[in-house]
Amino acid sequence: MFRAIFLLCLAGIPFSRCKQLHEYMTLNEVMSIFHKPHHLVPEYEVVPVLHRMSKDEEMKEDINELKIKVFNDDVNLYLNPTEGILANKNTPVWTVSSNPEAPEGLQYKQIPKAMDSVGVILQDVRTLSSVLLTPTPDGQIHLNGVLNNTYVIKSLPRRILDRVLYGGRKLFEPLYKKNVTNNDDFAYTYHHVVYKMPSSDQKDFKITDPEGQEVKRNVPDIIYPEFLVVADYSIYQYLVSFWNGVDLRYRLLTTPKIRLNIAGIIISVDKDATPYLENNRFEVSYVDADRALRSMGDYFYRESRFPTDFYDIAIAMTNLDLCNMITDDYCEPSTLGYAYVAGACDRNATKQSSEAVGMIEDNGGFSGIIVTAHEVGHLIGARHDGNPKGARNCPANDGFIMTSGLMLDENGFEWSPCSIHAFYNFINQDRAKCLYNEPVMGESVTRILPGTLMSLDDQCNKVFGTAACNKDATACTRLDCEYPGIEGYCRATAPAAEGSSCGDDLICLNGKCVLVGILIKEKNNEKRKLLEKFLPKFNFQTIRKIPWTNLLKSLKNKLKRKLFV
């Protein structure tokens, strides 16, 4: 029974009038916590959280310790800051809306400082826990994420805390104000909602495995798949916690290490802002996954506002039902994710399309984490376990992440030997090179580009004393200026300066007209190119014992013994 009900009934309110906490919430508040409307809210508890920060002397880093009692289960976590670069304050975020006058009919707008308030990403690899910790202005913390791979923890909206829990109806005593616990060095923070992580409603789902090819080269020690994530506005802050959970699945791999990175986030603000989904709708809530995936690949191949070196893979997260057309009037709805095998980094000029795309069906509550890990697994080379092309020796019924159906057992959070081998093979290929470059780490120093200080007209005025003729994407490679004395004649002497405006929220960078936020990635590329100029060339690879070296040592020892007998 929910703790809120229990306390209200103790207060003498008739049982028939007892209200659950979510019944005090607006629809938006309920959706932000449970990702479901009021009548579909799962069983939950409202619990206090014990929190403290300690120092790991060996690792020289802070550890966040959490204690929670929920559903009669004592949850104790030791959370470390995420090793790697999943996201940071510089991760660019754009809104996208339909606009017939914009390129491709889509208008992108960068959200300034969008990630400033997101919080700190924490993980406990041992328990597969991933939490987003956000400090509050009054010195408390909000927690959002997954605990022990079993529970979802969600912070409560400010209105519910102030007007329902601690003020107004006073359903709970604000324990954090007392700061009294069984352990003197632990402190209470706000109450949080905790519920069990929902399993998929379609447990025997099919995740389609398109065809791929395999060729080999050397593997690096660490690869960095960089994702451009397209999602609905309602799951924006949930998104970072969600991908932290996906990243945890790849932390189990050591040769090579795989560290996921969110290169950018696109927030769709209307249904027409994702035409590759909307134009392939079937009936009310279904999407033809085959056609939508092809359309998405075609779109991102054409979309020059996101240059190819900015991201490796584009993933669309949708709450629509993905389905596969079986007949003209029946679309089979068991598919929860869709992606190309070995599609990462792909840009096919012949087909004018990209296979570096995937789609995930996500209805909230973190239930899509395994599905997303599975689809990313496809994109970096893995096939379904049991597939005769490379995974024959790993039975599908063993239930690892790359099984074709969700088995819901312990193996479902690990990779089969066949998947690990497939990752290694794909990363050895020349076409996987885009995964090698390291994304931006931490906050970078702002760089002032010359084009931001001088308009296109000003640049032409310096040369000819006239105005610019072209102020669109063409100026990035060739800035035409009005020629003095000849009306209607334009002449170019150079491309527009780096950073020059080439449209709304667009700038020139390396000869391309790209979105303003792309600048972050380019800073890192410039630094990397500078280093490559002076550092010796070498391939990163894992050092391995080679059998014939042991044989040579053995022969050498035999010769020594013969010579000195």
156-177 confidence digits (pLDDT tens): 988 988 888 877 655 655 544 4
Judge whether 375 counts as a catalytic residue. yes
DSSP designation for 163: I
Average pLDDT over residues 394-422: 83
Catalytic one of 45, 375, 498, 522: 375
Is 216 inside any structural domain?
A: no
61 falls in which pLDDT band (50, 70, 90)?
low
Residues 392 and 511 in one domain: no
Structural domain boundaries, residue 72: 21-87+114-196
Say whether pLDDT at 291 is over 60: yes
| Residues 330 and 427 grouped into a single domain | yes
Same domain? 309 vs 402: yes
Q: Which residues pair with 339 in a beta bridge?
A: 358
Would you give the DSSP letter of residue 84?
Answer: S
Are 264 and 228 part of one and the same domain?
Answer: yes
Q: Tell me if 384 is assigned to a ligand binding site.
A: yes
Looking at 384, 402, 436, which one is the last position of a domain? 436
Closest CA to 339 of 428, 427, 507, 209: 209
Per-residue pLDDT, 205:
41
CATH number at residue 293: 3.40.390.10
Give SS3 for 237: helix
β-strands 286-288, 281-282 pairing: antiparallel
- Mention every residue, 6+ apart, whose C-beta is less than 8 A from residue 285: 320, 321
What's the per-residue H, E or C state across 423-464?
Answer: HHHHHCCHHHHHHCCCCCCCCCCCCCCHHHCCCHHHHHHHHC
Name the domain boundary from 436, 462, 478: 436
Question: Which amino acid, residue 370?
Answer: I
Give pLDDT, residue 557. Answer: 59
Q: What pLDDT is attached to residue 221?
A: 76
If asked whether residues 495 and 544 sit together in one domain, one would say: yes
Query: Which of 142, 161, 196 lies at the terminal end of a domain, its last residue?
Result: 196
The pLDDT mean for the chain works out to 78
Lowest-confidence pick of 76-85, 89-98, 101-110: 76-85
Q: What is the pTM of this model?
A: 0.71
- Based on the structure, what is the number of domains in the chain? 3
Rounded to 5°, angle at Cα 108 from 436 and 314: 30
Contact present, 72 and 95 (Cβ < 8 Å): no
- Looking at the structure, do residues 308 and 229 belong to the same domain, yes or no? yes
CB 519 within 8 A of CB 501: no
Tokens of 223: 């690869």
pLDDT at residue 371 greater than cutoff 60: yes
pLDDT digits (tens, 9 = 90+) for 196-234: 987 654 444 444 444 444 444 455 678 889 999 999 876
Say whether pLDDT at 483 is over 60: yes
Distance between CA atoms of residues 232 and 366, nearest Å? 15
How many residues appear in the chain? 565
Q: Using the predicted structure, report yes or no on whether residue 407 has a pLDDT greater than 90.
A: no
Consult the annotation and say whether 142 binds a ligand: no
CA dist., res. 95 & res. 53, Å (int) = 36
pLDDT at residue 13, as a whole number: 38
Mean pLDDT of 439-456: 64
Q: Do 341 and 378 form a contact (C-beta atoms < 8 A)? A: yes
- Indicate whether 29 pLDDT > 80: yes
Helices (H), ranges, 232-288: 236-250, 275-278
Q: Which of 12-21, 282-291, 520-529 has the lowest mean pLDDT?
A: 520-529
**Any binding-site annotation on 35?**
no
Please report where in the chains the tokens 């998405």 appear, as a residue.
296
Query: What local confidence, expressed as pLDDT, does residue 254 receive?
Result: 78
Find the helix or strand (DSSP H, E) in which 141 lies: strand 141-147
Residues 6+ apart with CB under 8 A from 353: 294, 297, 298, 301
Residue 113: what residue type? K
pLDDT tens-digit readout, 456-478: 998 898 878 899 999 998 998 88
